[in-house]
Protein backbone atom coordinates (compact mmCIF):
# COMPACT_ATOMS: atom_id res chain seq x y z
CA UNK A 1 0.00 0.00 0.00
CA UNK A 2 1.33 3.42 -0.97
CA UNK A 3 2.19 5.60 2.03
CA UNK A 4 1.11 9.22 1.81
CA UNK A 5 4.00 11.69 1.61
CA UNK A 6 4.95 13.04 5.04
CA UNK A 7 3.48 10.00 6.84
CA UNK A 8 4.75 6.63 8.04
CA UNK A 9 3.04 3.29 8.53
CA UNK A 10 2.88 2.09 12.17
CA UNK A 11 1.03 -0.47 14.30
CA UNK A 12 -1.72 2.10 14.88
CA UNK A 13 -1.94 3.12 11.24
CA UNK A 14 -0.55 6.09 9.32
CA UNK A 15 0.83 8.94 11.42
CA UNK A 16 2.91 12.00 10.49
CA UNK A 17 6.56 11.26 9.98
CA UNK A 18 7.56 13.69 12.75
CA UNK A 19 5.21 12.12 15.32
CA UNK A 20 6.53 9.64 17.85
CA UNK A 21 4.96 6.23 18.32
CA UNK A 22 5.92 5.37 21.88
CA UNK A 23 4.92 3.35 24.88
CA UNK A 24 2.43 4.81 27.32
CA UNK A 25 5.03 4.27 30.02
CA UNK A 26 7.30 6.73 28.18
CA UNK A 27 4.64 9.45 28.34
CA UNK A 28 3.15 9.01 31.81
CA UNK A 29 3.84 7.67 35.29
CA UNK A 30 1.42 4.77 35.86
CA UNK A 31 0.40 3.74 39.35
CA UNK A 32 -2.03 1.14 40.65
CA UNK A 33 -4.45 1.90 43.46
CA UNK A 34 -4.15 1.08 47.15
CA UNK A 35 -5.86 -1.80 48.96
CA UNK A 36 -7.64 0.28 51.58
CA UNK A 37 -8.91 -1.57 54.63
CA UNK A 38 -12.67 -1.67 54.06
CA UNK A 39 -13.23 -2.01 57.81
CA UNK A 40 -12.14 1.62 58.11
CA UNK A 41 -14.70 2.84 55.56
CA UNK A 42 -17.47 5.15 56.72
CA UNK A 43 -20.64 6.42 55.08
CA UNK A 44 -19.33 10.01 55.26
CA UNK A 45 -15.94 11.58 55.77
CA UNK A 46 -13.30 13.97 54.49
CA UNK A 47 -11.81 11.60 51.89
CA UNK A 48 -13.75 9.53 49.37
CA UNK A 49 -12.32 6.30 47.95
CA UNK A 50 -12.73 6.04 44.17
CA UNK A 51 -13.60 2.49 43.16
CA UNK A 52 -14.15 0.87 39.79
CA UNK A 53 -17.90 1.26 40.28
CA UNK A 54 -17.45 5.05 40.28
CA UNK A 55 -16.11 5.01 36.71
CA UNK A 56 -18.52 4.33 33.87
CA UNK A 57 -18.18 5.17 30.19
CA UNK A 58 -15.94 8.18 30.65
CA UNK A 59 -17.78 9.66 33.63
CA UNK A 60 -16.95 9.78 37.34
CA UNK A 61 -20.06 9.16 39.43
CA UNK A 62 -19.24 9.87 43.06
CA UNK A 63 -22.81 9.18 44.16
CA UNK A 64 -22.20 5.46 43.66
CA UNK A 65 -19.94 5.11 46.70
CA UNK A 66 -20.22 5.35 50.46
CA UNK A 67 -16.57 4.57 51.14
CA UNK A 68 -15.03 7.44 53.07
CA UNK A 69 -12.11 7.96 55.44
CA UNK A 70 -11.66 10.76 57.95
CA UNK A 71 -7.97 10.26 58.65
CA UNK A 72 -5.16 9.07 56.39
CA UNK A 73 -2.08 7.03 57.24
CA UNK A 74 1.16 8.06 55.55
CA UNK A 75 0.94 5.05 53.23
CA UNK A 76 -2.57 6.08 52.21
CA UNK A 77 -1.89 9.77 51.55
CA UNK A 78 0.36 8.82 48.61
CA UNK A 79 -2.81 7.82 46.77
CA UNK A 80 -4.56 11.20 46.93
CA UNK A 81 -5.64 12.13 43.41
CA UNK A 82 -4.65 15.42 41.83
CA UNK A 83 -5.99 17.53 38.99
CA UNK A 84 -5.24 15.99 35.55
CA UNK A 85 -4.58 12.52 36.96
CA UNK A 86 -6.11 10.09 34.45
CA UNK A 87 -7.94 7.10 35.91
CA UNK A 88 -8.57 3.79 34.16
CA UNK A 89 -10.36 0.67 35.43
CA UNK A 90 -8.36 -2.55 35.37
CA UNK A 91 -10.86 -5.34 36.05
CA UNK A 92 -14.05 -6.43 34.30
CA UNK A 93 -16.01 -9.34 32.91
CA UNK A 94 -14.43 -11.62 30.33
CA UNK A 95 -15.94 -10.92 26.91
CA UNK A 96 -17.92 -7.85 27.99
CA UNK A 97 -15.19 -5.22 27.88
CA UNK A 98 -16.82 -3.45 30.84
CA UNK A 99 -13.39 -2.24 31.96
CA UNK A 100 -10.92 0.18 30.47
CA UNK A 101 -13.20 3.11 31.40
CA UNK A 102 -11.15 6.26 31.87
CA UNK A 103 -11.65 9.69 33.38
CA UNK A 104 -9.41 12.71 33.96
CA UNK A 105 -9.65 14.43 37.35
CA UNK A 106 -10.80 18.05 36.96
CA UNK A 107 -11.47 20.03 40.12
CA UNK A 108 -12.55 17.13 42.34
CA UNK A 109 -10.90 17.20 45.77
CA UNK A 110 -9.94 14.69 48.46
CA UNK A 111 -10.30 11.58 46.33
CA UNK A 112 -8.30 8.41 46.98
CA UNK A 113 -7.22 5.84 44.39
CA UNK A 114 -8.55 2.37 45.23
CA UNK A 115 -7.14 -0.95 44.03
CA UNK A 116 -8.11 -2.19 40.53
CA UNK A 117 -8.06 1.40 39.34
CA UNK A 118 -4.86 2.91 37.94
CA UNK A 119 -3.83 6.50 37.47
CA UNK A 120 -1.61 8.00 34.83
CA UNK A 121 0.27 11.20 35.51
CA UNK A 122 1.54 12.82 32.32
CA UNK A 123 5.26 13.54 32.07
CA UNK A 124 6.38 17.00 30.98
CA UNK A 125 6.52 16.05 27.29
CA UNK A 126 2.83 15.04 27.18
CA UNK A 127 -0.40 17.03 27.54
CA UNK A 128 -2.68 15.13 29.99
CA UNK A 129 -5.87 16.07 28.10
CA UNK A 130 -4.33 14.75 24.88
CA UNK A 131 -3.46 11.49 26.68
CA UNK A 132 -7.01 11.25 28.03
CA UNK A 133 -8.40 11.29 24.48
CA UNK A 134 -5.87 8.71 23.34
CA UNK A 135 -7.20 6.34 26.03
CA UNK A 136 -10.60 6.41 24.31
CA UNK A 137 -9.38 5.48 20.82
CA UNK A 138 -10.02 2.09 19.26
CA UNK A 139 -6.35 1.33 18.76
CA UNK A 140 -5.57 1.99 22.44
CA UNK A 141 -8.54 -0.04 23.70
CA UNK A 142 -7.79 -2.92 21.34
CA UNK A 143 -4.26 -3.13 22.76
CA UNK A 144 -5.64 -2.73 26.30
CA UNK A 145 -8.07 -5.64 25.97
CA UNK A 146 -5.44 -7.80 24.29
CA UNK A 147 -3.41 -7.46 27.49
CA UNK A 148 -6.24 -8.80 29.69
CA UNK A 149 -5.54 -11.94 31.70
CA UNK A 150 -8.05 -14.23 33.37
CA UNK A 151 -8.54 -13.69 37.08
CA UNK A 152 -10.83 -15.23 39.65
CA UNK A 153 -14.03 -16.64 38.17
CA UNK A 154 -15.12 -14.79 35.06
CA UNK A 155 -12.91 -11.74 35.62
CA UNK A 156 -10.41 -10.18 33.26
CA UNK A 157 -7.53 -8.12 34.64
CA UNK A 158 -5.02 -5.69 33.20
CA UNK A 159 -1.95 -4.58 35.16
CA UNK A 160 -0.15 -1.24 35.20
CA UNK A 161 2.86 -2.91 33.56
CA UNK A 162 0.57 -3.95 30.70
CA UNK A 163 -0.65 -0.38 30.21
CA UNK A 164 2.95 0.85 30.13
CA UNK A 165 3.64 -1.26 27.02
CA UNK A 166 0.66 0.03 25.01
CA UNK A 167 1.69 2.20 22.08
CA UNK A 168 0.14 5.57 21.18
CA UNK A 169 1.17 8.34 18.75
CA UNK A 170 2.40 11.66 20.16
CA UNK A 171 2.89 14.93 18.25
CA UNK A 172 6.40 16.36 18.55
CA UNK A 173 5.42 19.55 20.36
CA UNK A 174 3.31 20.31 23.40
CA UNK A 175 1.65 23.08 21.37
CA UNK A 176 0.25 20.64 18.81
CA UNK A 177 -0.94 18.26 21.52
CA UNK A 178 -2.65 21.17 23.29
CA UNK A 179 -4.33 22.34 20.07
CA UNK A 180 -5.74 18.85 19.46
CA UNK A 181 -6.90 18.58 23.08
CA UNK A 182 -8.57 22.01 22.87
CA UNK A 183 -10.45 21.14 19.65
CA UNK A 184 -11.78 17.89 21.13
CA UNK A 185 -12.60 19.58 24.43
CA UNK A 186 -14.64 22.21 22.55
CA UNK A 187 -16.55 19.40 20.83
CA UNK A 188 -17.19 17.75 24.19
CA UNK A 189 -18.40 21.05 25.66
CA UNK A 190 -20.87 21.45 22.80
CA UNK A 191 -22.12 17.90 23.31
CA UNK A 192 -22.42 18.44 27.06
CA UNK A 193 -24.42 21.66 26.60
CA UNK A 194 -26.82 19.84 24.25
CA UNK A 195 -27.21 16.98 26.74
CA UNK A 196 -28.09 19.47 29.48
CA UNK A 197 -30.56 21.28 27.21
CA UNK A 198 -32.26 17.98 26.33
CA UNK A 199 -32.47 17.04 30.02
CA UNK A 200 -34.02 20.45 30.74
CA UNK A 201 -36.56 20.08 27.90
CA UNK A 202 -37.49 16.60 29.14
CA UNK A 203 -38.02 17.92 32.65
CA UNK A 204 -40.22 20.73 31.31
CA UNK A 205 -42.27 18.20 29.33
CA UNK A 206 -42.60 15.96 32.38
CA UNK A 207 -43.91 18.89 34.39
CA UNK A 208 -46.35 19.78 31.63
CA UNK A 209 -47.62 16.20 31.53
CA UNK A 210 -48.20 16.16 35.28
CA UNK A 211 -50.30 19.30 35.06
CA UNK A 212 -52.09 18.94 31.72
CA UNK A 213 -52.89 15.23 31.88
CA UNK A 214 -54.45 15.49 35.33
CA UNK A 215 -56.42 18.70 34.81
CA UNK A 216 -54.39 20.60 37.42
CA UNK A 217 -53.74 23.17 34.72
CA UNK A 218 -56.32 23.92 32.03
CA UNK A 219 -55.57 25.38 28.64
CA UNK A 220 -57.16 28.75 27.80
CA UNK A 221 -60.74 28.38 26.59
CA UNK A 222 -61.42 25.05 28.32
CA UNK A 223 -63.39 24.41 31.49
CA UNK A 224 -65.80 21.92 33.00
CA UNK A 225 -65.47 18.52 34.62
CA UNK A 226 -63.47 15.66 33.18
CA UNK A 227 -65.08 12.28 32.64
CA UNK A 228 -63.86 8.85 33.73
CA UNK A 229 -63.82 5.82 31.41
CA UNK A 230 -62.31 2.37 31.40
CA UNK A 231 -60.19 1.41 28.42
CA UNK A 232 -62.82 -1.09 27.35
CA UNK A 233 -65.55 1.57 27.52
CA UNK A 234 -63.50 3.77 25.20
CA UNK A 235 -63.87 0.95 22.65
CA UNK A 236 -67.62 0.79 23.08
CA UNK A 237 -67.08 -2.47 25.01
CA UNK A 238 -66.46 -4.23 21.69
CA UNK A 239 -63.94 -7.10 21.77
CA UNK A 240 -62.87 -6.51 18.17
CA UNK A 241 -61.67 -3.06 19.26
CA UNK A 242 -59.91 -4.32 22.37
CA UNK A 243 -58.32 -7.68 21.65
CA UNK A 244 -55.01 -9.49 21.93
CA UNK A 245 -52.61 -10.41 19.18
CA UNK A 246 -52.00 -13.95 18.01
CA UNK A 247 -50.13 -16.91 19.46
CA UNK A 248 -47.35 -17.47 16.96
CA UNK A 249 -45.12 -20.43 17.73
CA UNK A 250 -41.48 -20.44 16.61
CA UNK A 251 -42.11 -22.95 13.82
CA UNK A 252 -44.26 -20.37 11.98
CA UNK A 253 -41.70 -17.54 12.16
CA UNK A 254 -39.79 -16.84 8.93
CA UNK A 255 -37.71 -14.02 7.41
CA UNK A 256 -40.24 -12.56 4.99
CA UNK A 257 -43.96 -12.34 4.45
CA UNK A 258 -46.47 -10.78 6.85
CA UNK A 259 -44.70 -8.73 9.52
CA UNK A 260 -44.93 -9.86 13.14
CA UNK A 261 -44.79 -6.94 15.58
CA UNK A 262 -43.23 -8.23 18.80
CA UNK A 263 -43.28 -7.01 22.41
CA UNK A 264 -39.74 -5.66 21.94
CA UNK A 265 -41.03 -3.27 19.29
CA UNK A 266 -43.18 -1.48 21.87
CA UNK A 267 -41.41 1.21 23.85
CA UNK A 268 -42.83 3.73 26.29
CA UNK A 269 -44.84 5.95 23.97
CA UNK A 270 -42.75 5.04 20.92
CA UNK A 271 -42.46 2.27 18.36
CA UNK A 272 -38.98 0.70 18.47
CA UNK A 273 -37.78 -0.76 15.17
CA UNK A 274 -35.30 -3.62 15.45
CA UNK A 275 -32.58 -4.83 13.10
CA UNK A 276 -34.01 -8.34 13.32
CA UNK A 277 -37.54 -8.49 11.93
CA UNK A 278 -39.90 -11.45 12.11
CA UNK A 279 -42.58 -12.57 9.65
CA UNK A 280 -45.08 -15.33 8.99
CA UNK A 281 -46.32 -16.64 5.64
CA UNK A 282 -49.74 -15.80 4.17
CA UNK A 283 -50.58 -19.49 4.54
CA UNK A 284 -49.80 -19.36 8.27
CA UNK A 285 -51.87 -16.17 8.58
CA UNK A 286 -54.88 -18.00 7.19
CA UNK A 287 -54.21 -21.24 9.07
CA UNK A 288 -53.92 -19.50 12.44
CA UNK A 289 -56.77 -17.08 11.67
CA UNK A 290 -54.59 -14.13 12.62
CA UNK A 291 -55.85 -10.60 13.24
CA UNK A 292 -54.38 -7.91 11.02
CA UNK A 293 -53.23 -4.70 12.70
CA UNK A 294 -53.06 -1.30 11.05
CA UNK A 295 -51.25 2.01 11.18
CA UNK A 296 -52.77 4.10 13.98
CA UNK A 297 -53.66 1.16 16.24
CA UNK A 298 -52.55 1.54 19.84
CA UNK A 299 -50.48 -1.47 20.92
CA UNK A 300 -50.23 -2.14 24.66
CA UNK A 301 -47.66 -4.65 25.86
CA UNK A 302 -49.07 -6.74 28.72
CA UNK A 303 -45.65 -8.21 29.49
CA UNK A 304 -42.99 -6.60 31.69
CA UNK A 305 -40.70 -4.65 31.66
CA UNK A 306 -42.64 -2.50 32.14
CA UNK A 307 -46.06 -4.02 31.59
CA UNK A 308 -48.50 -1.46 30.16
CA UNK A 309 -46.07 0.32 27.87
CA UNK A 310 -47.81 1.42 24.69
CA UNK A 311 -47.31 3.06 21.32
CA UNK A 312 -49.23 4.07 18.24
CA UNK A 313 -48.29 1.80 15.34
CA UNK A 314 -46.66 4.05 12.72
CA UNK A 315 -46.24 3.51 9.01
CA UNK A 316 -43.21 1.21 8.89
CA UNK A 317 -43.50 0.30 5.23
CA UNK A 318 -45.10 -3.11 5.74
CA UNK A 319 -48.07 -4.11 3.59
CA UNK A 320 -49.59 -6.39 6.21
CA UNK A 321 -48.93 -6.82 9.94
CA UNK A 322 -49.93 -8.89 12.96
CA UNK A 323 -48.81 -8.77 16.58
CA UNK A 324 -47.97 -11.13 19.44
CA UNK A 325 -50.42 -12.57 21.95
CA UNK A 326 -48.94 -10.53 24.83
CA UNK A 327 -49.91 -7.33 23.01
CA UNK A 328 -53.39 -5.82 23.29
CA UNK A 329 -54.70 -4.08 20.17
CA UNK A 330 -56.51 -0.97 21.44
CA UNK A 331 -58.80 0.90 19.01
CA UNK A 332 -60.66 3.59 20.97
CA UNK A 333 -63.63 5.26 19.32
CA UNK A 334 -62.57 8.49 17.64
CA UNK A 335 -65.64 10.24 19.07
CA UNK A 336 -64.40 9.57 22.61
CA UNK A 337 -60.63 9.74 22.62
CA UNK A 338 -57.63 11.29 20.90
CA UNK A 339 -55.06 8.54 20.49
CA UNK A 340 -52.03 10.78 21.01
CA UNK A 341 -53.58 12.02 24.25
CA UNK A 342 -54.11 8.41 25.36
CA UNK A 343 -50.50 7.51 24.59
CA UNK A 344 -49.40 10.37 26.83
CA UNK A 345 -51.60 8.99 29.63
CA UNK A 346 -50.22 5.50 29.02
CA UNK A 347 -46.66 6.79 29.42
CA UNK A 348 -47.03 8.27 32.94
CA UNK A 349 -45.67 6.80 36.16
CA UNK A 350 -49.17 6.74 37.65
CA UNK A 351 -50.36 4.53 34.76
CA UNK A 352 -47.50 2.08 35.28
CA UNK A 353 -48.18 1.97 39.03
CA UNK A 354 -51.79 0.99 38.37
CA UNK A 355 -50.79 -1.67 35.84
CA UNK A 356 -48.12 -3.07 38.16
CA UNK A 357 -50.67 -3.55 40.93
CA UNK A 358 -52.78 -5.68 38.59
CA UNK A 359 -49.93 -7.80 37.25
CA UNK A 360 -49.57 -11.46 38.08
CA UNK A 361 -47.56 -14.50 37.08
CA UNK A 362 -44.87 -16.52 38.81
CA UNK A 363 -42.34 -16.72 35.97
CA UNK A 364 -43.10 -13.77 33.69
CA UNK A 365 -45.04 -10.83 35.09
CA UNK A 366 -47.94 -9.73 32.92
CA UNK A 367 -51.35 -8.12 33.16
CA UNK A 368 -54.43 -9.90 31.83
CA UNK A 369 -56.33 -8.15 29.06
CA UNK A 370 -59.52 -8.30 31.15
CA UNK A 371 -57.75 -6.42 33.96
CA UNK A 372 -56.26 -3.96 31.49
CA UNK A 373 -59.70 -3.17 30.15
CA UNK A 374 -61.01 -2.35 33.64
CA UNK A 375 -58.47 0.41 34.28
CA UNK A 376 -60.12 3.81 34.51
CA UNK A 377 -58.61 7.03 33.19
CA UNK A 378 -59.73 10.65 33.41
CA UNK A 379 -60.52 12.33 30.11
CA UNK A 380 -61.41 15.91 29.21
CA UNK A 381 -63.69 16.61 26.24
CA UNK A 382 -62.25 15.46 22.92
CA UNK A 383 -61.31 18.95 21.72
CA UNK A 384 -59.29 19.57 24.89
CA UNK A 385 -57.61 16.17 24.56
CA UNK A 386 -56.46 17.12 21.06
CA UNK A 387 -55.18 20.50 22.21
CA UNK A 388 -53.17 18.91 25.04
CA UNK A 389 -51.83 16.21 22.74
CA UNK A 390 -50.72 18.88 20.25
CA UNK A 391 -48.71 20.74 22.91
CA UNK A 392 -47.01 17.56 24.11
CA UNK A 393 -46.33 16.47 20.50
CA UNK A 394 -44.62 19.80 19.79
CA UNK A 395 -42.45 19.30 22.88
CA UNK A 396 -41.59 15.79 21.68
CA UNK A 397 -40.69 17.12 18.23
CA UNK A 398 -38.36 19.72 19.76
CA UNK A 399 -36.66 17.08 21.93
CA UNK A 400 -36.39 14.70 18.97
CA UNK A 401 -34.73 17.40 16.85
CA UNK A 402 -32.23 18.10 19.64
CA UNK A 403 -31.48 14.39 20.05
CA UNK A 404 -30.79 14.05 16.32
CA UNK A 405 -28.50 17.08 16.54
CA UNK A 406 -26.74 15.49 19.51
CA UNK A 407 -26.26 12.22 17.62
CA UNK A 408 -24.79 14.18 14.70
CA UNK A 409 -22.34 16.04 16.96
CA UNK A 410 -21.27 12.81 18.64
CA UNK A 411 -20.58 11.29 15.25
CA UNK A 412 -18.63 14.37 14.17
CA UNK A 413 -16.57 14.25 17.35
CA UNK A 414 -15.79 10.58 16.71
CA UNK A 415 -14.56 11.54 13.28
CA UNK A 416 -12.49 14.39 14.74
CA UNK A 417 -10.81 11.96 17.14
CA UNK A 418 -9.90 9.59 14.31
CA UNK A 419 -8.45 12.43 12.22
CA UNK A 420 -6.76 14.54 14.89
CA UNK A 421 -5.31 11.83 17.14
CA UNK A 422 -3.51 10.16 14.22
CA UNK A 423 -2.37 13.38 12.58
CA UNK A 424 -4.43 12.96 9.40
CA UNK A 425 -5.44 16.59 10.04
CA UNK A 426 -2.77 18.88 11.53
CA UNK A 427 -3.78 21.95 13.53
CA UNK A 428 -0.36 23.58 13.84
Indicate whether 17 pLDDT > 80. yes
Indicate whether 364 pLDDT > 90. no
pLDDT band for 362, please (50, 70, 90 cuts).
Answer: low
Indicate whether 86 pLDDT > 80. yes
**Rounded mean pLDDT, 310-323:** 96
**Rounded mean pLDDT, 148-161:** 81
Q: What whole-number percentage of the chain has pLDDT above 70? A: 99
Q: Which residues contact 42 (CB under 8 A, 6 or more apart)?
A: 68, 69, 70
* The 278-280 sheet, strands edge to edge: 278-280, 258-261, 321-323
Q: What is the pLDDT of residue 4?
A: 85
Indicate whether 206 pLDDT > 80. yes
Q: What is the pLDDT of residue 74?
A: 87
Indicate whether 199 pLDDT > 70. yes
Q: How far is CA 381 from CA 85, 205, 298, 386, in A?
A: 60, 22, 20, 9
Indicate whether 292 pLDDT > 90. yes
pLDDT band for 143, please (50, 70, 90 cuts).
Answer: very high
The whole-chain average pLDDT of the chain stands at 94
Q: Is residue 289 within 8 Å of residue 266, measured between CB atoms?
A: no
Q: Which residues contact 382 (CB under 8 A, 6 or more apart)?
A: 335, 336, 337, 338
Of 71-80, 399-408, 413-422, where does mean pLDDT reach its minimum? Answer: 71-80
Q: Is residue 100 within 8 Å of residue 24, measured between CB atoms?
A: no
Q: What is the pLDDT of residue 152?
A: 61
pTM check: above 0.75? yes
DSSP designation for 363: S
Q: What is the pLDDT of residue 63?
A: 87
Residues in the chain: 428
Q: What is the pLDDT of residue 407?
A: 97
pLDDT band for 84, please (50, 70, 90 cuts).
Answer: very high
**Rounded mean pLDDT, 19-46:** 94
> How many CB atoms sit inside 10 A of residue 20's CB?
15
Q: What is the pLDDT of residue 340?
A: 97
Amino acid sequence: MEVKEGYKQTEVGLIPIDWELGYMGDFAFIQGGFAFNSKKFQSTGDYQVVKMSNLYQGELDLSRSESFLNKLENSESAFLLKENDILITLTGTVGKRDYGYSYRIRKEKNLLLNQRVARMVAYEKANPIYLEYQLKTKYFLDQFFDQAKGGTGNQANVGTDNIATIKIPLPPTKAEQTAIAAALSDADALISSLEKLIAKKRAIKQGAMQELLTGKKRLPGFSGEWGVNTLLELCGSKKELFDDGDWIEAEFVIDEGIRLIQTGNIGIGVFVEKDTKKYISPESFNLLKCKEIHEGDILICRLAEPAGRACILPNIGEAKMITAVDVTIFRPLETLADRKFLISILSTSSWFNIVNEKCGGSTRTRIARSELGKIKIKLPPLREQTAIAQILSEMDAEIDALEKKLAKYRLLKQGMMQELLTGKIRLV
